[in-house]
Structure 1
Amino acid sequence: MATGDGSGGFAQFATSRHQALYRYAYLLAGERGLAEDLVQEALTKTYVAWKRLDDSANAEAYTRKVITNTAIGWWRRKSWSAERPRDDVPELAGARDDEDVTARLWLWEELRALPPRQRAALVLRYYEDLTETETARVLGCTVGTVKSQTSHALKKLRARLGPDAVLIMEMVVAK
């Protein structure tokens, strides 16, 4: 919530939401350094727009939209199909056994192979548990586009992972 000059409300927002924003950026980018850059860029743009944002819900959606659009822009400008260094998936807290970790790593690699907007739609819908309307707001598109991006992404996952792709994804995300 904006204060007189906006800096107090922004500082509270940035501090309280940083971890969730970083997690979202990491799931989109797959690299810690790039995720940190995305969050920093998004928070800078959010600070500039802070006076226009009515409340923290608008700020959250705006910041996630900036993260998404910035990531997609970076992917378009770079050759993302070329081999490049990347982080390994971090050790998962609460992983029960090697099979659980293997399923997560397997799904992670398949998600990384999806186009950026499809990956963003899946992360927002299934991992962040946003509604179609909230996802559309973050992505800056219509609900129909969210539905089609999600549908296309799930179709690609089913083709690569088999008919149990959605069950695998739900199992992995639920843990």
Structure 2
Amino acid sequence: MHHDRDFAAYMVARWPALVRTLVLLGCGQPHAEEVVQRSLSRCYLDWRRVRESDDIDVQVYRSVLDTLARDSRDRADMTDTADDGPEPDRTDAELVRDALLEALDGLDDQRRRVVVLRYAAGLDERQVGDLLELQVEVVEVTLADALERLDMPAVWGASR
């Protein structure tokens, strides 16, 4: 019973960050939610081992990224491309999000993952390194380089 409560508390606390991480990595919202749901289901089945690991977040994000990688081999395009007609008025937050996604599209996969895992997922450099199997120094250099490449003033200026 404690096992279920513990997992449920973790899931509720981390769900938004997990989904947001995948969206920023290029997934459409529905696909991101599906990937997170399947990943958390796998983690639940093995929760005792995940819980006893050195870093629960690294284990869960590894499951999420592995599920995403499996999906990307099966899908030609991870983003939603359906044309739903004219675009409705968008909020400032949506404009900034879209500008951020466009800026992130300009990064290679490794830089994008490092930035998203560090800032959107809230993992520290050691956790990002563990997850991506990189030395902390490589994470730090990659992060600094990626941040130089991102045009953040343009992202923040995307709002009205």
- Would the alpha carbon gap of residues 153 and 86 (structure 1) be closer, same or farther in structure 2, given more than 3 Å must change? farther
Does the residue aligned with 1:29 lie in a helix, a strand or coil?
A: coil
The offset of 1:61, in angstroms, is 2.4
In 2: Cα distance, 1:41 partner to 1:116 partner: 23
> Of the candidates 56, 60, 64, which is equivalent to residue 57 of structure 2?
60
Aligned identity (percent) is 24
The residue that corresponds to 1:85 in the other structure is: 81
How do residues 36-55 of structure 1 correspond to structure 2 at under 5 angstroms?
A: 36-54=33-51
State the alpha-carbon separation in 1 of the partners of residues 60 and 66 from structure 2: 10
Structure 1 letter corresponding to 2:136 = V
Q: CA RMSD in A?
A: 3.6
Q: What does 1:92-131 align with in structure 2 at a 5 Å threshold?
A: 92=91, 95=92, 101=95, 104-131=97-124
The residue matched to 1:30 in structure 2 has which SS?
Answer: coil
- Distance change (3 Å), C-alpha of 1:116 and 1:49: farther
TM-score calculated relative to the size of structure 1: 0.64
- 8 Å CA contact 2:17–2:121 kept in 1: the answer is no
C-alpha contact (below 8 Å) 1:29/1:71 kept by paired residues? no
Determine if contact 2:18/2:121 at 8 Å carries over to the other structure.
no
Q: How does 1:146-161 map to 2 (within 5 A)?
A: 146-147=139-140, 149-150=142-143, 153-154=146-147, 157=149
Q: In the TM superposition, what is the alpha-carbon distance from 1:119 to its structure 2 partner?
A: 1.6
Separation in structure 1 between the aligned mates of residue 118 and residue 111 of structure 2, nearest angstrom = 11
Q: Note if 1:29 corresponds to 2:26.
A: yes
Return 5+ residue gaps in structure 1 as ranges: 159-164
> Quick check: 144-153 or 109-118, which moved more?
144-153
Separation in 2, partners of 1:132, 1:115: 18
- Is the CA contact 2:28–2:80 (under 8 Å) kept in the aligned structure 1? no
Look up the equivalent residue of 2:33 and give its one-letter code.
E
Q: Which amino acid aligns with 1:130?
A: L
Q: Deviations over 1:29-64 (max 9, x none)?
A: 330111011111210121122111336983322112
- Residue 132 of structure 1 is aligned with which of 116, 125, 128? 125
The CA distance in 1 between the partners of 2:142 and 2:39, in whole Å, is: 23
What is the TM-score of this pair, normalised by structure 2? 0.69
AA at the equivalent of 1:139: L
CA offsets 1:44-88 (integer angstroms, 9 cap, x no match): 12112211133698332211222223223433454349x961699
By relative contact order (CA 8 Å, sep 6+), the higher-ranking structure is 2
Counterpart in the other structure of 2:10: 13
